[in-house]
Structure 1
Amino acid sequence: MSGTWIRLGVGWSPPGGTAALSWVLWQPGYIPAPWPTGELKPAFTYYACEGLRGGGRGIVARVTITALVKPTEVTSPDEVHELLSEQLFDDDLTIDDLPWHTHAYNRAKAAAPWPQKLVAWRTAKESIGPHVLPELTRFPRTGWLRSDRIAM
């Protein structure tokens, strides 16, 4: 299938910010699919989808990767935060320790067995839409899908 990649969620971003952070943790041996394996690198652009106030989901941003932590084995949520702090955070984009550990996704992953694999990326985001498409109602477990209905 060709088409344009869409990610469920913009990632974490400070209010009104134009930068965002996305990260995924999974158990070693898991091979995420669908996943933009070859494309996930700086300059890769995709659309981000989020829930809308009136219900449903819509494409709300065009996002371009500006920095990436390639798949890396990590042993704890603290190690993840430290790695992201070193490689992706700066004065414009950072998550303090408490909000990091209380983030719903991180709380769920903290309860899973460790070590885990981490992939994280920093993005520049441009708000658009929202654009509603029927395929946005269900995303694969990976949080990525492709659509032939839209193009960059």
Structure 2
Amino acid sequence: MVWIRLHNARYPVPGGTPRIAWAMWQTNYSATPWPHDELKPDFGYYICETLEDGTRALTYRASVTHVLPPTEVAKPEEAYDLVSEHLFDEGLRIAPHDWHDYHYNALKAEAPWPQRIVAWRARVEPFGPHVMEGLQRFPRSGWTQTEAISL
């Protein structure tokens, strides 16, 4: 089985790259499906994006290089600080105001806290676009698995 992560191109990540991703959820939420045990350095997955015509396709192969494992944080500022500490360097950084203004983070800031955050950075290489069945609907977690393609 191969993991696929939905990258929402309509809301590009600050810095404009799928090399970094994160998710936050309330402490009582169990994210499934999710590669909980696999999400560590060298974990490989595909990135799915929505093309201009609305079709979803695999567009990158990714290999995780850095991980912030699921960590409970009391407020949004702590989430940014942890991501900054674990994933940012001279080559990849998101300014604090861009992080807090990002639509996903702004929505999460309105939700009850504490929350858990998980974040990762990956080396990506262009792939495709490769259109295949099963990419039109993703679970709420943004992850799905398939046997239809291999890394």
Query: Shorter-chain TM-score: which interval?
Result: over 0.9
Q: Distance in 2 between matches of 1:60 and 1:142?
A: 19
Partner of 1:55: 54
Q: Which runs of 5+ in 1 are unaligned?
A: none
Q: Distance in 2 between matches of 1:116 and 1:58?
A: 31
Partner of 1:128: 127
Alignment of 1:52-91 (within 5 A): 52-91=51-90
Match of 2:5 among 4, 7, 13: 7
Partner of 2:111: 112
Residue 14 (structure 1) shift? 3.3
8 Å contact 1:12–1:20 — kept in the other structure? Answer: no
Q: Distance in 1 between matches of 2:70 and 2:37?
A: 12
SS at match of 1:83: helix
Moved over 4 A (4+): none
8 Å contact 1:70–1:119 — kept in the other structure? Answer: yes
8 Å contact 1:13–1:21 — kept in the other structure? Answer: no
Q: Deviations over 1:78-120 (max 9, x none)?
A: 1111111111100111100111111111011111100000111
Name which of structure 1's ranges 39-48 and 80-89 shifts more when overlaid on structure 2. 80-89
The TM-score with structure 2 as length reference comes to 0.92
Q: Deviations over 1:2-52 (max 9, x none)?
A: x1100001783635x6x7211010011211111111111100000000110
The TM-score with structure 1 as length reference comes to 0.92
**Number of corresponding residues:** 148
- Equivalent residue letter for 2:13: W
Partner of 1:27: 26
| Cα-Cα RMSD | 1.6
Cα distance change on mapping 1:69 and 1:39 into 2, 3 Å: same
- Equivalent residue letter for 1:8: L
8 Å contact 2:14–2:102 — kept in the other structure? Answer: no
SS at match of 1:69: strand
